[in-house]
Amino acid sequence: MRGFALFVAGVGSGILLMQSVIAQDGARNDTGMKLNHVAIFVKNFDAEVAYYTKSMGFPEAFAFREPNGTPILTYLQISRDTFLEIQPATAEHPAGFSHIGIEMLDAKSTVARLRGMGVKVSDATPSANSGALLTNEIDPRESVPSCSSSDPRPGNGKR
């Protein structure tokens, strides 16, 4: 009898735990989007990349540099699907927050749906660096840019 009670309690706990997993998956499926990365501009690019890779343990996923070696950006992998994008600060882009990257399951339908809800959003076009489909939205205050992409990782087959 005790074994049966433990079995029932285990099944009940599993059902409750699965509800939160299903809810999280459902939230992504409802919007067709999920957080992919957060991007920042930094004053000392090499020191920041070293800090996040060595101190925080985030491995470099990929990086883009100018032909002369000047860094354009580096993506560091925080988890399987979440990244930190680091870009060098400039006079035009001072150190601090740059944008959030939201991964879209289907760029064209997401853009159409967002426009239908009144969001200012550009057409999805391939990134010059990665080839990922990118689009830009501006939040209602027109102050915080965000960018959506199909998947910025090279070789992902989603371009």
CATH number of the domain located at residue range(s) 33-149 in this protein:
3.10.180.10
Per the model's pLDDT, the better-predicted residue between 154 and 129 turns out to be: 129
pLDDT at 67: 96
- Res. 23: pLDDT tops 70: no
Picking from 98, 84, 102, the residue whose alpha carbon sits closest to that of residue 149 is: 102
- Res. 12: pLDDT tops 80: no
Distance, in Å, from the CA atom of 126 to the CA atom of 20, rounded to the nearest integer, reads 35
pLDDT at 150: 59
Amino acid at 109: S
User: Residue 2: which pLDDT band, with cuts at 50, 70 and 90?
Assistant: very low
Beta-ladder partners of 33: 104
Distance, in Å, from the CA atom of 122 to the CA atom of 33, rounded to the nearest integer, reads 16
- Res. 9: pLDDT tops 50: no
Torsion over CA: 127, 129, 131, 133 (sign): negative
- Res. 42: pLDDT tops 90: yes
Distances (CA, A) of 108 to 29, 80, 104, 158: 16, 25, 9, 13
pLDDT digits (tens, 9 = 90+) for 52-88: 999 999 999 999 999 999 999 999 999 999 999 999 9
* β-pairing verdict for 83-88 and 96-104: unpaired
